[in-house]
Structure formats: structure tokens, C-alpha cells
């Protein structure tokens, strides 16, 4: 079946819905193709808030937010992106409020704001109240609010469609191929502009806050096509995942005054970040937690985790401002945060790297910022390099509204003057062959077993702390897993709702993005932000103040090019808090 829309957005999370909404407001005919029903998208799991220098609780300025973003990103953040973001996110929050988003309120009626990791006033002197929140369900509320607006604008939704191919020919994006879960049919989509907003790929790791659907599909599809992925070595682990499940407990808990403690009951962050302690950026807190455990101060029979202590907070703060995480602790661990500390350990959370784009979301193919006409990306799937080497909490929700809006506006304007490209049945062939190959295979390998091996080895060899030796070992493991992947077979040969087939396709994507990550991490011989190499513990601005572009040559073979970091008003300095 064939469909035709001026702008097609892949993904119906916050970035996809923001893109679709603003493109529709520009007058474009817009469709959204999504693996999930839109309000099931992973943006709904974002808890703590959206950071913007509204200054409702205390003095705040966009310049301070920009500074925190650049410093938080360990100076790999492109400063033009940080400036656009820090200014426009203020407008974006007010627009969300006008759309009906139920933010928490201050007694004077203004939007309430809380403290959050790495957000400071007066260039780092003290923590600041910057995160606008709706209890600890902020992402959920953003998703619902944007979806309602999209319905109001008559945007077409193709739900439970899995994109299997992006048609890029002669350097131009022309359309998509998607697999319809309900029927097993392949559909051809013609578009003047395509926006990729398909989210992250945390499922490469065993312990992750990411939903089962976050498998890096579109990053992998473009990477196979010879387009680069940028800064893939930088993957953030969120410090407070419920131990041992990895389910997220918002940083807002520490924003409200929660304290991390080791087995001795010490508030250990005082040693690592004396000024802002538990509200240091995520990469630093995650490393500190691992070090406490490694040095024997972990909690529990295996001494393998630490504790998040909220017991000193007033019960109404915990129940009212943090209702979801309170419920998670009680349901999943049987721990009541009012009465006892909650076991936590870092959980794979967010990809700073992804599909490289301009400030307007246009996908670029090389270090000279050569644009692929008609192709855009926004949100976690993209790398405009707002987050540099480490994202600050709340900046992802801000990112998807600010850069989703920009991508939507630009895509709609581009589509006004562009023509549709001719597509034929021939464009379905590659996807059809891949699906038939998996369905008809009689190989001995099972998807679940391979995926479990991938996730465990990525956790062991390429997570919070890294060494050249472990990364080189992981390169070989990935090569072997890719070989074995060719031998998978599935039991379900049916057409309708063949989730086993979908999982087989997703494992292929997971292997590709893991390859880009591990090769990029082995290649970068320094420590910066979330990329901590124990064999190269120092940041090396002389050689590595630059973005990595990873290109796939063949399985296990990756080449690199580099792109300069856009510097500006903030000179790279040592990062202390």
C-alpha cells in the first residue's frame, strides 16, 4: 500500500509530536508513523521536570542555563545550540502551559520550579530552582498535551507501524517503508520531508530505564546507509535506578532534598562535589556511586548498591511531589521511602549521540555540515550537540520541544517548495527480503539468547567505566554476535501481530548501534563527560575537543571523521562543582 504526505514524522514521543504539531501549524499535511500508540511513547516515563530560566522561585537567567548546559556537557556542547535552547525553552514552557499542561503551581499562581542536578545560579555558585514540573509525571503530561493538540490539528497517525527503511537516493530523502504489525503488510510512504524522532537505544544494556521499544531502529537504518552517527561514545547512566531493576527514580527526589548514602550512612557526594553535592551532574554522581561500591562501601549482602534517603523529608513532600516514584518503590521493592532508604544503582538512560543535525534539525552527512535534503531528526535520536558529553537533567524534555518545533517548522517550509519523488514497488524489495530471510531461516540461534548476551556484555565492557582492553574485547564479541545473528530463526511464521519477527529486526538494530558506540568509545582516548576511560583518566582538549562522526564500512569495520565543537562565550575549563 502507498501513502503520501508532505511531512512524515517517525516516532510519536515528545519530539515527534512537537515536530508534527508545529509542521501542521505551518499548514503542511502531516502524518506520524509510530511503533506504539502515541501516549505509550517513552517520553511518558520522564519524571522530574523541564528546565527553563523562568525565574519564578528565585532570580534566574537564560545565560546561566546556557552556561550550565555547556559545562554539564564537559565543553563538547555546541554553544550555538546551547544558546538557542536556553532562550527558546522559556517560550516553549509557556506555550505548553497555554496548551493546557497542568504544571504544579506556586502560591502566587506561577509555574512551580524545583532544583535539579547541575543547574546553578550565578555561574555555578549554588543550586537554582529551574525545573518546571507536574508532580513527577512531567513527561507524561507533555506527551498527553502535545497529543491532544495533534488530534485537534487533524494529523494522520499510523500506529503500530515499524519503519524498516528510509529511502535515500542521490543524496535526497524520498520516503519510507514500514511494516504494519496488525497485518504483516509492507507500506510505502511518499514524503517531501521526513523527520526522525524515534528515540534512544538503551536496550543495548541489561540494566536500563528505557522501555523495550527503544532499540535504535532509525539510527541503525541510516548508519547502514552510510550516513554517520555523531558522538556515540557518550551514553548517560542515570544515578538513581531502582536496584536491581533499573526503573527510574527521578533526580527530582534529590532536587527535593534526597540524599545518597553508602553502607556507613555517609553522604558520600560531599567528597566528590563539595558545593552542590547530590545535585552534581549525572555522569559524576554515577561514577561516585560505582567508586563507593568498588571501594567496599556498598550496601546489602553483596555490597553492590547504595541508598537514596528521603526519610528526613516531610511526608507530604514525598507523597505530593514524588507520588510515582514512591509508588514504584513500594510496588517493585516493597520499600516505603517514608520509612526507609531506597536501594539504587546507575541505570542506562540517555544517548547524547545520534543522527547529526543542524540547529534546524536538518540531517548532515559529513564534517562540512552537508545537508541531506528533506531529511530531519529531533529528540534523543538526533545529535544537534546540545548535550555534548553529558546531558543535564530536564534538558531532554526541553530539547524535544525546542528542537522538535524547529524541525517541524523547517520541514514544513521545505515541503512547500519541494516535489514528491517517484517511488515504486522496487523500493519495498530490501525490506521484504530481510523479513522473508528471517521467517524462512532454519538457523539454530534464538533472538532472546543473543540479545541477553549483547546486553550483559555491553554492561560488563562498555558502561560507566571503560578501558581500551575491555572495549577491544567487546569489538570482538560484537563481531561474533553479528555473525551468529545471520543464523537466527523464529517460530512464528504468521503475518498478524508477529512480535517475534519485530524483536528479530530490533536485535539487528541493537547490534548496529552497539557497534557504533563501542568503536567510538575505543577510538576516543580521553575521559570526558559520560565517557570515562580508566586508562586515559584526563580530559584532553588538545586532541579531543571535537565531535566524532562514525561511519560503517562493514560489520566490525568503522571509520571516523571529526567535526569541530562550536565554541563561544564559555572557554573550556576544568569541571568542578
pLDDT in tens, 5-20: 999 999 999 999 999 9
Omega of the bond leading into 244 within 30 degrees of 0 (cis): yes
Q: Tell me if 100 is assigned to a ligand binding site.
A: no
Query: Looking at residue 69, what is its pLDDT?
Result: 98
Q: Tell me if 42 is assigned to a ligand binding site.
A: yes
Tell me the pLDDT band of 400, cut-offs 50, 70 and 90.
very high
CA angle at 347 for the pair 342 and 353, rounded to the nearest 5°: 150
3-state secondary structure (DSSP) of residue 442: coil
Q: CATH code for 426-544?
A: 1.20.58.100
Say which DSSP state 489 is in.
Answer: -
| Ordered alpha helix ranges (H), 153-262 | 217-224, 252-255
Out of 282, 365, 405, 451, pick the active-site residue. 282
Question: Does residue 235 carry a pLDDT above 90?
Answer: yes
Question: Does residue 468 carry a pLDDT above 90?
Answer: yes
Question: Does residue 252 carry a pLDDT above 90?
Answer: no
Query: Looking at residue 257, what is its pLDDT?
Result: 94
Q: Are strands 382-383 and 355-356 parallel, antiparallel or unpaired?
A: parallel
pLDDT in tens, 73-90: 999 999 999 999 999 999
Tell me the pLDDT band of 332, cut-offs 50, 70 and 90.
very high
Please state, in angstroms and rounded to a whole number, the distance separating the CA atoms of residues 162 and 505: 10
Question: Does residue 356 carry a pLDDT above 90?
Answer: yes
Q: Tell me if 138 is assigned to a ligand binding site.
A: no
Q: Tell me if 258 is assigned to a ligand binding site.
A: no
pLDDT in tens, 286-313: 999 999 999 999 999 999 999 999 999 9
Q: CB 513: neighbour CB atoms within 10 A?
A: 25
Query: Looking at residue 279, what is its pLDDT?
Result: 93
Q: Tell me if 43 is assigned to a ligand binding site.
A: yes
Q: Tell me if 11 is assigned to a ligand binding site.
A: yes
pLDDT in tens, 529-573: 999 999 999 999 999 999 999 999 999 999 999 999 999 999 999
| Ordered alpha helix ranges (H), 100-163 | 138-152
Q: Tell me if 13 is assigned to a ligand binding site.
A: yes
Q: Tell me if 36 is assigned to a ligand binding site.
A: yes
3-state secondary structure (DSSP) of residue 261: strand
Tell me the pLDDT band of 372, cut-offs 50, 70 and 90.
very high
Please state, in angstroms and rounded to a whole number, the distance separating the CA atoms of residues 229 and 365: 9
**What's this model's pTM, rounded to 2 decimal places?**
0.96
Query: Looking at residue 417, what is its pLDDT?
Result: 95
Phi-psi region of 118 (alpha: psi -120 to 50; beta: other; left: phi over 0): left
Q: Where are the beta strands (DSSP E) in 197-234?
A: 229-230
Q: Tell me if 12 is assigned to a ligand binding site.
A: yes
Query: Looking at residue 65, what is its pLDDT?
Result: 98
For domain 240-343, which CATH number applies: 3.90.700.10, 3.90.1300.10, 3.40.50.720, 3.40.50.300?
A: 3.90.700.10
Q: Tell me if 171 is assigned to a ligand binding site.
A: no
pLDDT in tens, 476-529: 999 999 999 999 999 999 999 999 999 999 999 999 999 999 999 999 999 999
Taking every pair of Cα atoms in the chain, the longest distance, rounded to a whole number of angstroms, is: 67
3-state secondary structure (DSSP) of residue 558: strand
Sequence-distant (≥ 6) Cβ neighbours of residue 35 within 8 angstroms: 11, 160, 161, 162, 198, 213, 217
pLDDT in tens, 181-200: 999 999 999 999 999 999 99
Mind spelling out the 3-state secondary structure of 327-388? Answer: HHHHHHHCCCCCCCCEEEEEEEEEECCEEEECCCCEEECCCCCCEEEEEEECHHHEECCCCC
Average pLDDT, whole number, for the chain? Answer: 96
135 φ/ψ angles, rounded to the nearest 5 degrees:
45, -130
Q: Tell me if 508 is assigned to a ligand binding site.
A: no
Q: Tell me if 504 is assigned to a ligand binding site.
A: no
Cell of 335: 520499600
254 is catalytic: no
**What does the domain layout of the chain look like in residue ranges?**
240-343, 426-544
Query: Looking at residue 208, what is its pLDDT?
Result: 96
Q: What percentage of the chain's residues is helix, strand, coil (to nearest 5)?
A: 40, 25, 35
Query: Looking at residue 1, what is its pLDDT?
Result: 84
Amino acid at each position: 500500500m502507498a501513502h503520501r504526505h508532505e511531512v512524515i514524522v517517525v516516532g510519536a514521543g515528545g519530539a515527534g509530536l512537537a515536530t508534527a504539531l508545529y509542521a501542521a501549524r505551518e499548514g503542511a499535511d502531516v502524518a506520524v508513523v509510530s511503533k506504539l500508540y502515541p501516549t505509550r511513547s517513552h517520553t511518558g516515563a520522564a519524571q522530574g521536570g523541564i528546565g527553563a530560566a523562568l525565574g519564578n522561585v528565585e532570580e534566574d537567567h537564560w545565560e546561566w542555563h546556557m552556561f550550565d548546559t555547556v559545562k554539564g556537557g564537559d565543553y563538547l556542547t555546541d554553544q550555538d545550540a546551547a544558546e538557542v535552547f536556553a532562550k527558546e525553552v522559556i517560550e516553549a514552557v509557556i506555550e505548553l502551559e497555554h496548551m493546557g499542561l497542568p504544571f504544579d503551581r506556586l502560591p502566587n499562581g506561577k509555574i512551580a520550579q524545583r532544583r535539579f542536578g547541575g543547574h546553578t545560579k550565578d555561574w555555578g555558585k549554588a543550586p537554582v530552582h529551574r525545573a518546571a514540573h507536574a508532580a513527577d509525571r512531567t513527561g507524561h503530561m507533555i506527551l498527553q498535551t502535545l497529543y491532544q493538540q495533534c488530534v485537534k490539528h487533524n494529523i494522520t497517525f499510523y500506529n503500530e507501524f515499524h519503519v524498516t527503511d528510509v529511502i535515500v537516493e542521490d543524496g535526497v530523502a524520498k520516503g519510507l517503508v514500514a511494516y504494519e504489525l496488525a497485518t504483516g503488510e509492507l507500506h510505502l510512504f511518499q514524503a517531501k520531508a521526513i523527520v526522525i524522532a524515534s528515540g534512544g537505544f538503551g536496550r543495548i544494556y541489561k540494566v536500563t530505564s528505557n522501555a523495550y521499544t527503544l532499540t535504535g531502529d532509525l539510527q541503525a537504518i541510516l548508519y547502514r546507509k552510510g550516513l554517520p552517527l555523531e558522538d556515540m561514545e557518550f551514553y548517560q547512566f542515570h544515578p538513581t535506578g531502582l536496584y536491581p531493576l533499573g526503573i527510574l527514580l527521578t533526580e527530582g527526589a534529590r532536587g527535593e532534598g534526597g540524599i545518597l548514602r553508602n553502607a556507613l550512612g555517609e553522604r558520600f557526594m560531599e567528597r566528590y562535589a563539595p558545593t552542590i553535592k547530590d545535585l552534581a551532574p549525572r555522569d559524576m554522581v554515577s561514577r561516585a556511586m560505582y567508586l563507593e561500591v568498588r571501594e567496599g562501601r556498598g550496601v546489602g549482602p553483596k555490597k553492590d548498591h547504595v541508598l537514596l534517603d528521603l526519610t528526613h523529608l516531610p511526608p507530604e513532600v514525598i507523597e505530593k511531589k514524588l507520588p510515582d516514584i514512591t509508588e514504584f518503590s513500594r510496588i517493585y521493592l516493597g520499600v516505603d521511602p517514608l520509612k526507609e532508604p531506597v536501594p539504587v544503582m546507575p541505570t542506562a538512560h540517555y544517548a547524547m549521540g545520534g543522527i547529526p543535525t543542524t540547529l534546524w534539525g536538518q540531517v548532515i552527512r559529513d564534517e562540512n555540515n552537508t545537508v541531506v535534503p528533506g531529511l530531519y531528526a529531533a529528540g534523543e535520536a538526533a545529535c544537534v550537540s546540545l548535550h555534548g558529553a553529558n546531558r543535564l537533567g530536564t534538558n531532554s524534555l526541553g530539547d524535544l520541544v525546542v528542537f522538535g518545533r524547529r524541525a517541524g517548522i523547517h520541514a514544513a517550509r521545505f515541503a512547500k517548495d519541494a516535489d514528491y519523488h517517484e517511488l515504486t514497488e522496487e523500493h519495498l524489495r530490501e525490506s521484504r527480503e530481510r523479513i522473508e530471510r528471517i521467517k524462512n531461516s532454519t538457523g539454530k540461534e534464538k533472538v532472546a539468547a543473543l540479545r541477553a548476551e549483547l546486553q550483559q556484555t555491553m554492561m560488563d565492557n562498555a558502561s560507566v567505566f571503560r578501558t581500551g582492553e575491555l572495549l577491544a574485547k567487546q569489538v570482538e564479541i560484537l563481531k561474533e554476535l553479528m555473525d551468529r545473528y545471520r543464523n537466527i530463526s523464529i517460530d512464528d511464521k504468521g503475518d498478524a501481530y508477529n512480535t517475534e519477527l519485530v524483536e528479530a529486526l530490533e536485535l539487528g538494530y541493537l547490534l548496529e548501534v552497539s557497534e557504533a558506540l563501542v568503536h567510538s568509545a575505543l577510538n576516543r582516548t580521553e575521559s570526558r563527560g559520560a565517557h570515562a576511560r580508566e586508562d586515559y583518566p584526563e580530559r584532553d582538549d588538545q586532541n579531543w575537543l571535537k565531535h566524532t562522526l562514525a561511519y560503517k564500512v562493514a560489520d566490525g569495520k568503522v571509520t571516523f571523521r571529526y567535526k569541530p565543537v562550536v565554541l563561544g562565550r564559555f572557554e573550556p575549563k576544568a569541571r568542578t562543582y
